[in-house]
Structure 1
Amino acid sequence: MSALYLLALLVSLSGMVVLDRRFALFFWRDARRAATVLGAGLVLFVLWDITGIATGVFFRGESAITTGVLLGPEFPLEEIFFLLLLCYSAINLFAGAELILVRRRSRGRQRS
Structure 2
Amino acid sequence: MAGLYLVALTVSALGVLAVDLRHRLALGAAPGRKLLLIACGTVFLLVWDIAGIASGVFVRGDSPLLLGVDLAPHLPLEEPVFLAFLCHLTLVVHAIALRVAARRRAGREAA
Gaps of 5+ in 2: none
Q: Among all aligned residue pairs of Structure 1 and Structure 2, give the percentage whose two residues are the same amino acid.
A: 40
Identify the residue that residue 33 of structure 1 maps to in structure 2.
33
Please give the root-mean-square deviation of Cα atoms over the aligned residues, in Å.
1.1
| SS, match of residue 71 in structure 1 | strand
Deviates more, 1:39-48 or 1:102-111: 102-111
- Count of aligned residue pairs for this structure pair: 111
Alignment match, 2:73:
73
Point out where structure 1 has 5 or more consecutive residues left out of the alignment.
Answer: none
Q: What residue is the counterpart of 2:94 in the other structure?
A: 94
Q: How far apart are 1:110 and its partner, in Å?
A: 2.7
TM-score under structure 1 length normalisation: 0.93
Q: TM-score, normalised by structure 2?
A: 0.94
Q: Runs of at least 4 residues of structure 1 off by over 6 A? A: none
Kindly provide the CA deviation profile for residues 52-93 of structure 1, in whole angstroms up to 9, marking residues without a partner as x.
Answer: 011111010111111000011110000011111111111111
In the alignment, residue 67 of structure 1 is paired with which amino acid? Answer: L
